[in-house]
Structure 1
Amino acid sequence: MKKILFVCLGNICRSPMAEYLCRDLAKKRGIALHTASAGTSGWHDGEFMHCGTAEVLDGLNIASQGFASRKLRDADFAEFDYLIVMDDHNLRDVRARFGTHDKIFKITDLCPESGYDHVPDPWYTGNFNETRDLLTRCCHQLLDALQNGSM
């Protein structure tokens, strides 16, 4: 079973949305996959996800209870097969901590045709549906790659 850690800045908007979306999509496809998420900042440690993220997940009938934000840990690099980040700032922070490795990349690298080079942060944009749509598309690409063995 592959283990994927999604990483953003605060771990309350983008990375938990990716964690729960990808887990749900994998389950529907019958793919054994463990997903989790973390933030580079630790600003929201122990907090529940942003209400906008929870509303998006609720609208998709994806249960979101039991979530608690956490900061990226040293052990995460060894524990997870992939550390997938949301933007260049996250990528810089994660690489500064763990080095440059193939297991660390931006999720939008999976969807170059999307026109996005990062996942917009709905904390700032207020557009949780835009984030949902892009993450859904990228998670489908991720699961395709896992299924066909290219990852």
Structure 2
Amino acid sequence: MIRVLFVCLGNICRSPMAEAVLRHKAALRGLQGAIATDSAGTGNWHIGKPPHEGTLGQLKLHGISSEGLIARQMQAQDFEQFDYIVCMDDSNEQNLRRLQGGKDAEILKLMDLLPDEPLREVPDPYFTGNFEETYRLIDLGCEVLLDKIVSEKL
């Protein structure tokens, strides 16, 4: 089983959206038993809460289940339990690299998978309010990530 963890700041907008999108895309390809997804935040403000209503709205609009999405904070053991840790912006990447401590998980920035996109970070819709743009980037990034996982690990 390949395990993927998505990380953003509070774990109520971008990372749970990505968790649900990749899970959905994996199921569409018949890979639901081969790939597990999760999400976490680097901050602790929203632990135990469901995703933001904007995230839930985008998932519903695109027919993607939000079942099981509950905010949690990144933990040191996540580096041992996940094959890929995918962050949404530079700040989260810096925080993750400080926490990593030589563990094996591969840290990726989602936008690095989309070199033709002008944005280098997934904008945080908690502040921008633009959940549609966030969904568009996450959808594209998860497609490329899934191809990467299939070619490298499956």
Tell me the TM-score range normalised by the shorter chain: over 0.9
- TM-superposed CA distance for 1:146, in Å, is 1.4
Q: Which residue of 2 aligns with 1:13?
A: 13
Distance of 2:105 and 2:52 partners within structure 1 = 30
Alignment RMSD: 1.6
Instruction: Check whether the contact 2:6–2:19 (CA below 8 A) recurs between aligned residues.
Output: yes
Q: Deviations over 1:58-82 (max 9, x none)?
A: 1111121332100001110100001
Q: Which residue of 1 aligns with 2:28?
A: 28
SS at match of 1:149: helix
Distance of 1:45 and 1:109 partners within structure 2 = 28
SS at match of 1:134: helix
SS at match of 2:134: helix
- TM-superposed CA distance for 1:91, in Å, is 0.3
Q: Which residue of 2 aligns with 1:94?
A: 96
Unaligned runs of at least 5 residues, structure 2: none
Unaligned runs of at least 5 residues, structure 1: none
Matched, 1:108 2:108: no
Q: Percent identity?
A: 45
> Could you tell me the TM-score, scaled by structure 2's length?
0.93
Equivalences for residues 2-151 of structure 1 within 5 A: 2-31=2-31, 32-99=34-101, 103-149=106-152
> Could you tell me the TM-score, scaled by structure 1's length?
0.94
